[in-house]
A and B are shown apart, each in its own frame.
Chain A
Amino acid sequence: MVVRLSLIIELKNVCMVHAVIPLNCLLCGQAAFVNRISGPPDHVQRLEELGLRGGVRIEMFRPGSPCIIRMAGNKVCIRSDGLLEVLVQPAETLSPR
Chain B
Amino acid sequence: MNHAPTARAAMTVALIGNPNTGKSSLFGALVGVRQRVGNYPGVTVERRSGQMEFAGRKIEVIDLPGLYSLAPRSRDEMVAVDVLLGRQDGVRPVDLIVCVLDAANLGRNLYLVSQVLELGLPTVVALNMMDLAESRGVQIDCDRLAERLGVPVVATQAVRHVGIAELKAAMHRAADQKARKYPSPLPAVFRQEIDRLAAWFLKPSNGSPGRVVARPLLERLVLDASGYLERGIFAAEGPALAEELAALRRRLEQSGCAVPGVETKSRYAWTEQVLSGAVHEPDDYLPTWTDRLDRVLTHRVWGTVIFAALMIGLFQAVFSGAVPFMDLIEAGCAWLGAQIEAHMAGGALRSLLASGLVGGVGGVLVFLPQILILFFFIGILEDCGYMARAAYLMDRFMSRVGLSGKSFIPMLAAFACAIPGIMAARVIENDRDRLTTILVAPLMTCSARLPVFALLIAAFIPDEPVLGVFDLRGLTLFGLYGLGILTAVVVALLLKRTLLRGETPPFVIELPSYKWPSARTVLHRVLERGWLFVRCAGTIILAVSIVVWAALYYPHDAASVDRQPHLSHLKAALDRMDPAGEDYAALAAELERERLGEFQRQSWLGRAGRAVEPVFKPLGWDWRIACAVIASFPAREIVVATLGVVFDLGENADAKSEAGAKQFRDKLRQATWNGSGRRLFTVPTALSIMVFFALCAQCAATLAVIRRETNSLRWPAFTFAYMTTLAYLGALVAYQAGTWIAARIG
Tell me which of B68-76, B188-196, B416-424 binds A: B68-76
- Using an 8 Å CB-CB cutoff, how does the interface string of B285-299 with A read, 1 for contact, 0 for none? 100101100100010
Q: Which residue on chain B has the smallest CB distance to residue A80?
A: B506
Interchain CB contact (< 8 A) of A83 among B503, B510, B513 = B503
**CB pair B508 A73 closer than 8 Å:** no
**Which residues of chain B have C-beta atoms less than 8 A from A78's C-beta?**
506-508
Known: A61-B294, A76-B511, A79-B506. A51 touches B261 (CB 8 A): no
- Using an 8 Å CB-CB cutoff, how does the interface string of A51-95 with B read, 1 for contact, 0 for none? 101000000011011101010111111111101100000000001
Interchain CB contact (< 8 A) of B506 among A41, A43, A51 = A43
Closest-CB distance, A51 to chain B (whole angstroms): 4
**CB pair B258 A46 closer than 8 Å:** no
Q: Which residue on chain A has the smallest CB distance to residue B507?
A: A79
A3 interface residue (CB < 8 Å to B): no
Tell me which of B335-343, B392-400, B536-544 binds A: B392-400
**Which residues of chain A have C-beta atoms less than 8 A from B512's C-beta?**
74
**Which residues of chain A have C-beta atoms less than 8 A from B513's C-beta?**
74
Interchain CB contact (< 8 A) of B261 among A41, A62, A80 = A41
- Using an 8 Å CB-CB cutoff, how does the interface string of B523-564 with A read, 1 for contact, 0 for none? 000000000000000000000000000000000000000000
**CB pair A53 B264 closer than 8 Å:** yes
Q: Which residue on chain B has the smallest CB distance to residue A55?
A: B268
A13 interface residue (CB < 8 Å to B): no
Most buried by A among B73, B138, B507, B508: B508
A47 interface residue (CB < 8 Å to B): yes
Q: Which of B254-295 contact A (CB under 8 A)?
A: 258-261, 263-264, 268, 281, 284-285, 288, 290-291, 294
Known: A43-B505, A74-B510. A66 touches B225 (CB 8 A): no
Bound CA–CA A51/B107 (angstroms):
8
B108 interface residue (CB < 8 Å to A): yes
**CB pair A46 B511 closer than 8 Å:** no
Known: A42-B73, A49-B71. A73 touches B104 (CB 8 A): yes
**Which residues of chain B have C-beta atoms less than 8 A from A50's C-beta?**
68, 108, 508, 510
**Which residues of chain B have C-beta atoms less than 8 A from A61's C-beta?**
291, 294, 298
**CB pair B506 A47 closer than 8 Å:** yes
- Using an 8 Å CB-CB cutoff, how does the interface string of B189-214 with A read, 1 for contact, 0 for none? 00000000000000000000000000
B504 interface residue (CB < 8 Å to A): yes
**CB pair B298 A68 closer than 8 Å:** yes
Interchain CB contact (< 8 A) of A49 among B104, B111, B291, B509 = B111
Bound CA–CA A81/B395 (angstroms):
13
Interchain CB contact (< 8 A) of B395 among A40, A75, A79 = A79
Closest-CB distance, B477 to chain A (whole angstroms): 33
B405 interface residue (CB < 8 Å to A): yes
Closest-CB distance, B76 to chain A (whole angstroms): 13
Q: Which residue on chain A has the smallest CB distance to residue B138?
A: A73
A10 interface residue (CB < 8 Å to B): no
Closest-CB distance, A78 to chain B (whole angstroms): 5
Interface size class of A (residues with CB under 8 A): 20 to 34
Interchain CB contact (< 8 A) of B69 among A49, A72, A74 = A49
Interchain CB contact (< 8 A) of A77 among B105, B263, B284, B392 = B392
Interchain CB contact (< 8 A) of B107 among A47, A72, A83 = A72
**CB pair A72 B509 closer than 8 Å:** no
**CB pair B260 A45 closer than 8 Å:** yes
Bound CA–CA A49/B264 (angstroms):
7
**CB pair A68 B392 closer than 8 Å:** yes
Known: A45-B261, A45-B263, A72-B105. A77 touches B508 (CB 8 A): yes
Bound CA–CA A51/B510 (angstroms):
11
Closest-CB distance, B649 to chain A (whole angstroms): 54
Q: Which residue on chain A has the smallest CB distance to residue B223?
A: A45
**Which residues of chain A have C-beta atoms less than 8 A from B259's C-beta?**
41
**CB pair A42 B392 closer than 8 Å:** no
**CB pair B284 A75 closer than 8 Å:** no
Known: A77-B392, A79-B395. A45 touches B264 (CB 8 A): yes
**CB pair B226 A42 closer than 8 Å:** yes
Q: Which residue on chain B has the smallest CB distance to residue A95?
A: B284
**CB pair B260 A41 closer than 8 Å:** yes
Interchain CB contact (< 8 A) of B509 among A44, A48, A77 = A77
**CB pair A45 B506 closer than 8 Å:** no
Bound CA–CA A76/B138 (angstroms):
19
Bound CA–CA A50/B108 (angstroms):
7
Most buried by A among B105, B107, B503, B509: B509
Interchain CB contact (< 8 A) of A48 among B225, B264, B284, B511 = B264
**CB pair A77 B506 closer than 8 Å:** no
B136 interface residue (CB < 8 Å to A): yes
Most buried by A among B73, B258, B264, B504: B264
Closest-CB distance, B594 to chain A (whole angstroms): 64
Closest-CB distance, B496 to chain A (whole angstroms): 13
**Which residues of chain A have C-beta atoms less than 8 A from B399's C-beta?**
65-66, 79
Q: Which of B91-147 contact A (CB under 8 A)?
A: 104-105, 107-108, 111, 136, 138
**Which residues of chain A have C-beta atoms less than 8 A from B396's C-beta?**
65-66
Interchain CB contact (< 8 A) of A75 among B68, B281, B294 = B294
B43 interface residue (CB < 8 Å to A): no
Known: A44-B261, A78-B507. A49 touches B281 (CB 8 A): no
**Which residues of chain B have C-beta atoms less than 8 A from A79's C-beta?**
395, 399, 404, 506-508
Bound CA–CA A73/B105 (angstroms):
8
Q: Which residue on chain B has the smallest CB distance to residue A70?
A: B285
- Using an 8 Å CB-CB cutoff, how does the interface string of B65-88 with A read, 1 for contact, 0 for none? 000110101000000000000000
**CB pair B284 A46 closer than 8 Å:** no
Q: Which residue on chain B has the smallest CB distance to residue A51?
A: B108
Closest-CB distance, A26 to chain B (whole angstroms): 16
B388 interface residue (CB < 8 Å to A): yes
**CB pair B260 A76 closer than 8 Å:** no
**CB pair B506 A81 closer than 8 Å:** yes
**CB pair B506 A84 closer than 8 Å:** yes
Interchain CB contact (< 8 A) of B508 among A41, A47, A65 = A47
Closest-CB distance, B256 to chain A (whole angstroms): 14
- Using an 8 Å CB-CB cutoff, how does the interface string of B395-434 with A read, 1 for contact, 0 for none? 1100100001100000000000000000000000000000
**CB pair B225 A42 closer than 8 Å:** yes
Bound CA–CA A47/B69 (angstroms):
11
**CB pair B510 A75 closer than 8 Å:** yes
Bound CA–CA A74/B284 (angstroms):
12
Closest-CB distance, B569 to chain A (whole angstroms): 73
Q: Which residue on chain A has the smallest CB distance to residue B404?
A: A79
Bound CA–CA A83/B93 (angstroms):
40
**CB pair B285 A73 closer than 8 Å:** yes
**CB pair A66 B507 closer than 8 Å:** yes
Bound CA–CA A76/B259 (angstroms):
25
Q: Give the top 6 A-B pairs by smallest Cβ distance, nearest first.
A: A51-B108, A75-B511, A48-B264, A79-B507, A49-B69, A80-B506
Can you offer 5 A-B residue contacts whose CB atoms are under 8 A?
Answer: A48-B268, A72-B107, A73-B138, A75-B294, A77-B405
Given contacts A68-B298, A79-B506, 18 further A-B contacts (CB under 8 A): A39-B506, A42-B73, A42-B260, A45-B69, A45-B260, A46-B506, A47-B506, A49-B111, A50-B68, A62-B294, A66-B392, A73-B138, A74-B104, A76-B510, A77-B509, A77-B510, A79-B507, A81-B506
